[in-house]
Amino acid sequence: MSLSSILSADAIDSAIKDCQAPDSFCPKKFFQICGLTKKSPQDIKKVFGILDNDASGFIEEEELKFFLQRFCPGARVLTDKETKGFMSIADDDSDGRIGVDGEAIDSLLDPSFIYPWIS
């Protein structure tokens, strides 16, 4: 299964283009542009499964660096600042990995959620 079977290819392309410059990635904005915030919990779990490259049931920091490349192979990797910021918000139990069923996932997909590391 590919992400374009869940999200539109045009929306993915727009989201990738929006964060081409280093340190410009904003998860909230990315999720809104690619359409993930409007998807069902079942679709979100499917997307999570695709992003979980090693199929461990979690997204670890090393996998998170390549987050954009899972949407588009030619996209850039996240900077250390972006990766650590994303992880600090999404890792709700501070174990160094993101689980699909955590409260942090819900808040990441909530359009009203504010990311404190984005100024």
All structural domains of the chain: 3-99 (1.10.238.10)
Q: Which whole number is the average pLDDT over 108-118?
A: 48
- CA distances from residue 65 to 3, 34, 39, 41, 111 in whole angstroms, order as listed: 17, 18, 23, 24, 23
Which pLDDT does position 76 carry in this prediction? 98
Q: Higher-confidence residue: 114 or 63? A: 63
The annotation places the binding site for Ca(2+) at 52, 54, 56, 58, 63, 91, 93, 95
Question: For the whole prediction, is pTM greater than 0.85?
Answer: no
Query: pLDDT tens digits, residue range 3-51?
Result: 999 999 999 999 999 999 999 999 889 999 999 989 888 898 899 899 9
The annotation places the binding site at 52, 54, 56, 58, 63, 91, 93, 95
